[in-house]
């Protein structure tokens, strides 16, 4: 009974306090109605979520080739991809973070093959800069199907799949893009062929009697493809212009590594990892192209295994 009385008293007192607060607030507002409404309006404006049209550049190029922004359809298609990616904030912020780690790797390979740096945005459009596996079983940053990967000298088997190897898959992509450039004389069309395939693109060129990307009517995916690359170029090269703010400490850093050469079998990668001061998980993070727990290597091929400097402490970048 005593406990129930105390509980009842607490409830009654609490209600009284709330009622008093409401009364005081009402008196305050009635005493200075205009000021109260003005303050309330400011609070509401501060809480309001606003959506604005995105910024469009006056001029734009892709791999040194001018984009005809004066065409209404080109501007509207670019606007679509900018809106989608600017307002898909979590996804685009993740790309900004990843780009800091992976763009330098990709750019170095593109530079080696004398391919414009803008072609790096293909890896963004294809895989979000990740070792993605598509429903069609295209794999890696550059989304190679198994047959195409083998055509471009990537090793693919149950133990090794170089589609997951960022440097080697970028090398293969460079060869494809150079072949397409030689065929079409345009990096824009080379990029379109990466998505559509040269056979399909050739069919549309013959049908429509033009080889200018911005004049071609293509399937939904390839028709949007270059605009996705252009949107990614605009946002990732100048994120603050589109409302994305990240300090250097927020970006995913490049992690220092060294390489271990092997030219024979490895019976157990868990044991192998331990010898170099890391674990199986870390070994596979740095070498996702190793697809099994062992490597038989009957042909005694030479492979280069990446190990983070400092062993397990290599995951702590405070010393670098």
Three-state secondary-structure class, residue 160: strand
Distance CA 104, CA 256 (A): 13
Confidence at residue 77, expressed as pLDDT on a 0 to 100 scale: 98
Q: What is the dihedral of CA 246, 252, 254, 255, to 10 degrees?
A: 140
Interval 216-275: pLDDT, tens: 999 999 999 999 999 999 999 999 999 999 999 999 999 999 999 999 999 999 999 999
Distance CA 96, CA 91 (A): 9
Please tell me whether the overall predicted TM-score, pTM, comes out greater than 0.85 for this model.
no
Query: Which of 42-51, 113-122, 310-319 is modeled with the greatest confidence?
Result: 113-122
Non-local (6+) Cβ contacts of 3 within 8 A are none
Confidence at residue 50, expressed as pLDDT on a 0 to 100 scale: 84
Interval 258-268: pLDDT, tens: 999 999 999 99
Interval 41-76: pLDDT, tens: 655 666 677 889 998 999 999 999 999 999 999 999
Question: Which H or E element spans position 303?
Answer: strand 303-308
Q: b/e for 171-189, b at 16 or more Cβ within 10 A?
A: bbbbebbeebbeebebbbb
- In the chain, what are the domain boundaries? 61-250, 257-315
Q: Which two tokens stand for residue 180?
A: 């397409």
Confidence at residue 49, expressed as pLDDT on a 0 to 100 scale: 78
Q: b/e for 223-259, b at 16 or more Cβ within 10 A?
A: bbbbbbbbbbbbbbeebeebebeeeeeeeeeebeeee
List helix spans (H) across the chain.
2-31, 33-47, 72-86, 89-112, 121-127, 146-151, 166-184, 187-196, 198-208, 220-237, 269-275, 280-286
Interval 136-181: pLDDT, tens: 999 999 999 999 999 999 999 999 999 999 999 999 999 999 999 9
Give the mean pLDDT of 288-305: 96
- Class of 61-250 in CATH: mainly alpha
């Amino acid at each position: 009974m005593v406990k129930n009385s105390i509980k009842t008293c607490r409830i009654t007192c609490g209600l009284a306090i709330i009622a008093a607060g409401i009364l005081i607030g009402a008196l305050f507002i009635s005493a200075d109605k205009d000021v109260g409404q003005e303050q309330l309006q400011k609070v509401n404006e501060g809480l309001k979520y606003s959506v604005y049209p995105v910024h469009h550049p006056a001029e734009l190029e892709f791999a040194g080739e001018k984009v005809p922004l004066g065409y209404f359809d080109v501007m509207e298609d670019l606007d679509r991809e900018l809106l989608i990616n600017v307002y898909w904030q979590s996804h685009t912020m993740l790309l900004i973070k990843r780009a800091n780690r992976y763009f330098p790797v990709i750019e170095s390979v593109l530079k080696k093959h004398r391919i414009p740096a803008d072609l790096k945005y293909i890896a963004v459009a294809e895989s979000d800069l990740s070792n993605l596996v598509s429903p069609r079983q295209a794999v890696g940053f550059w989304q190679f199907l198994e047959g195409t990967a083998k055509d471009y000298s990537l090793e693919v088997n149950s133990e090794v799949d170089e589609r997951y190897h960022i440097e080697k898959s970028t090398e293969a992509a460079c060869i494809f893009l150079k072949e397409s450039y030689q065929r079409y004389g345009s990096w824009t069309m080379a990029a379109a062929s990466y998505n559509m395939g040269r056979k399909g693109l050739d069919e549309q060129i013959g049908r429509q009697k033009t080889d200018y990307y911005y004049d071609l009517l293509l399937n939904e995916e390839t028709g949007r493809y270059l605009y996705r690359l252009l949107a990614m170029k605009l946002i990732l090269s100048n994120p603050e212009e589109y409302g994305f703010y990240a300090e250097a400490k927020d970006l995913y850093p490049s992690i220092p590594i060294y390489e271990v050469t092997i030219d024979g079998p490895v019976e157990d990668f868990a044991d192998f990892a331990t010898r170099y001061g890391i674990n199986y998980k870390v070994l596979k993070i740095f070498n996702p192209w190793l697809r099994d727990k062992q490597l038989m290597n009957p042909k005694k091929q030479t492979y280069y295994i990446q190990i983070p400097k400092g062993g397990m402490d290599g995951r702590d970048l405070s010393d670098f």
